[in-house]
Amino acid sequence: MTTMRWFGGQVGSGHDDPAVPQGCRMITAGRAPLWSVGQWTPAEIRAAATPRRRVTVFGPCAVTEHELRRLAADGVTDSVLTAFAGSYTVVESTTNSTVVFTDPGHAQPIYTATSADGVVWGSSALALAALTGATPDTAWLASMLLAPQHPESLAGRSAFTGVTAIPPGSRLILVGGARPQVRAAWQPEPAKTDMTEGATRLRAALAAAVAVRISSSQVPSADCSGGLDSTTLALLSAAQLGDGRSVHAVTVHPAGTTSGGDMDYATMAARTRPELRHLLCPLDSCHLPYSRMTELTPATDEPAPTTVTIARAVAEFDLLRQVGSDCHLTGDGGDTLLGGHPAHLADLVRVRRVGLFCRHATGWARLHRTPVWPLVAEALRHQRRPRSQPPPWSTPLARQLVTQTTTTAVPAQGQVELGTLKTVAAIQTIGRTARSDLQVAEHYGLRVHNPFTDPQVISAAVAVPTWLRGSPYRYKPLLTTAMADLLPKPIATRRTKGDFTPDHYLGLRANSDVLRHLADGRLAERGLVDPDRLRRLLDQAALGLPVTFSAFEPVLAAEIWLRAIETTPATARWQPNTVMRRTAL
């Protein structure tokens, strides 16, 4: 297994030799050192310097050497956050100060903490917690579990006490001896793009996002589930390859099933281009959801969504390692960014599109199998959805720890639409939580990328009005328009996905004893979970009664995460900077 990859630095309080993580690679030294930890390729860390400043870019980024030198010569402005394809963090360093421009998609979260030597910052909350001795934050866990649809309840906090989360799309200013300053550096603009122009922009942004990854990859791979998002990325990858290279298109499927449903669509996509090599990943009963969670899940920055399906994920990681994949693309975030958000009904009220409002309200109600009038009333009141009922496993303490905003006015004319604001907040949550999934993949030796959380891709999508990019009557119209010449027609017109619900019920029954034991775990000890109520909920699900899996799966992931944190050796340790030999990029 590999060492966790992260980068960071420190701005000291006057010490000439602040401590740094053991085993790191020093990028700059002095009073504002900068470092990386783990294995990074030259394309993932690039820098340029002048006598006045140094600019370092972490992550996949399409910036050219000339552009990088211009940034070092002229200084970095907020526009850098969306200037280039990719998902990256830009750091501007001087003698005793550091400015960090954080990724608007939140796929590279940035955190800060205070040590004896000053303020330390980095791309891993787990690493900073290990450096400073921070422990899991009970209040953060309560907010994450009880208010997942309200990311504002987690603002400024990480999963560890004393470790601060910097908002995505921000400028973090660190100067020796001063308190950190955070300023907003990016926000979505009011949507003014029509469908045709928006589709063109989205196509270009996704193509560039894919290109910046596979350009430095020797053996690229991509998910190929037969759905719109993963198929788009797989086909874009194949379209950009040359020199006889190929992309491994991976389809996960039940062992013994080679046709029907998703398999037919995936096979159709894989046969579209000769550059695609269809790679099948068969799963059997040992890969069911909830299997081997405590055994396979490593410690991460926060509970990883992939925890409940970790056995399936590890099977795919093993297969990809066997073929030598060094860059794997997934469609995570595509549903959130391009699937539409019912909050756009309030936007239709604001722009007085009465006919379209009525059609969409009826369509969303049918799609979600809910009455139409609550949706209409909500939009007319210009409010968010009412607060949901507390989950059955929660305790009074858990509910007391959660601070949650429940209403907000629809923006005025000319301002960013409510549907766009909600979409951006949701995709940023996807980016942040997916980072933990990527850490799981890195633990197993695989590099995973989610292009749908790239800033340029997000900007291209939300430039189109909310009621155009998502509709209850047409599935992902912006994406299918953008990829009309790329996607096979049966896939482009597909409105459904494979249903994994039976697998989850089977997994619940197969792992019932282990799951019941988890109810009396670390969350119960912290007073956040009523173990008896959680066991009853798990028992009902194991019996096959209708349940909402999201009512308890995050609880299981959080419980596994707390146990992994306890049993994992310290991710990072301090050591004097003087023992490190500076290595120039």
Give me the residues paired with residue 35 across strands. 8, 26
Predicted TM-score (pTM) of the model is: 0.93
pLDDT at residue 415 in the model: 80
> How many Å is the Cα radius of gyration of the chain?
24
Q: State the pLDDT at residue 388.
A: 64
**What local confidence, expressed as pLDDT, does residue 403 receive?**
65
**Measuring CA to CA, which residue among 217, 249, 263 is closest to residue 320?**
249
* The pLDDT of residue 560: 98
**What pLDDT shows up at residue 582?**
45
Question: So what's the pLDDT on residue 138?
Answer: 96
Question: Which residues are CB-neighbours of 108 under 8 A, at least 6 positions away?
Answer: 58, 59, 87, 88, 89, 102, 123, 435
The pLDDT value recorded for residue 583 is 43
Q: Where are the beta strands (DSSP E) in 132-267?
A: 164-166, 170-175, 181-184, 220-223, 247-254
CA–CA gap between residue 244 and residue 242 (Å, rounded): 5
Domains and CATH numbers, the chain: 6-187 (3.60.20.10)
**Residue 170's CB: how many other CB atoms inside 10 A?**
21
Provide the residue-wise pLDDT of the chain in tens; the chain has 585 residues: 567 899 999 997 665 667 789 889 999 888 789 999 999 999 999 999 999 999 999 999 999 999 999 999 999 999 999 999 999 999 999 888 899 999 999 999 999 999 877 899 999 999 999 988 999 999 999 999 998 878 888 889 999 999 999 999 999 999 987 899 999 999 999 888 999 999 999 999 999 999 999 998 999 999 999 999 999 999 999 998 867 789 999 999 999 888 888 899 999 999 999 999 999 999 999 999 999 999 999 999 999 999 999 999 999 999 999 999 999 999 999 999 998 777 778 888 878 888 888 888 888 778 778 888 777 777 776 544 445 678 888 999 998 888 654 444 545 555 888 888 889 999 999 999 999 999 999 999 999 999 999 999 999 999 998 888 888 888 899 999 999 999 999 999 887 676 678 899 999 999 999 999 999 999 999 999 999 999 999 999 999 998 889 999 999 999 999 999 999 887 788 777 654 444 444
End-to-end CA distance of the chain: 26
Beta-sheet strand order (sheet of 448-449)? 276-283, 247-254, 220-223, 327-329, 448-449
At 411 the pLDDT is 56
Can you give the pLDDT at residue 34? 94
pLDDT over 70 percentage in the chain: 93
In angstroms, the CA 28 to CA 94 distance is 10
Can you list the positions of beta strands (E) in 106-167? 110-115, 118-122, 164-166
| Residues shown for the chain | 585
